[in-house]
Structure 1
Amino acid sequence: MKCRALLLTVVMIPGCALFQRPFRPEHASKEEAAKLPYPLWLPSEGRVQVPANLAAAIELAMDDMLPRDVKPPRGATPDDVCLHRRDSYDVEVAPLNDEVVLVRFLVKEGACRSEGATATEAATYAVDVRGWRILAVQR
Structure 2
Amino acid sequence: MFHTSPSKIVKGSINKYGIAGSCLFFSDDVYQMSEASVFTYEAEFDCVRASQLHDDAIIDEIASYFDVDADTAGSLLDGSENEWDYGADADGSWWLQGKRGECAVKMGYDGCEDRDEQGTVYIVPMLGREEELKIIEVTL
TM-score bin (small chain): under 0.3
Compute the TM-score of the two structures, normalised by the length of structure 1: 0.22
Q: Higher relative contact order by CA 8 Å / sep ≥ 6: 1 or 2?
A: 2
Compute the TM-score of the two structures, normalised by the length of structure 2: 0.21
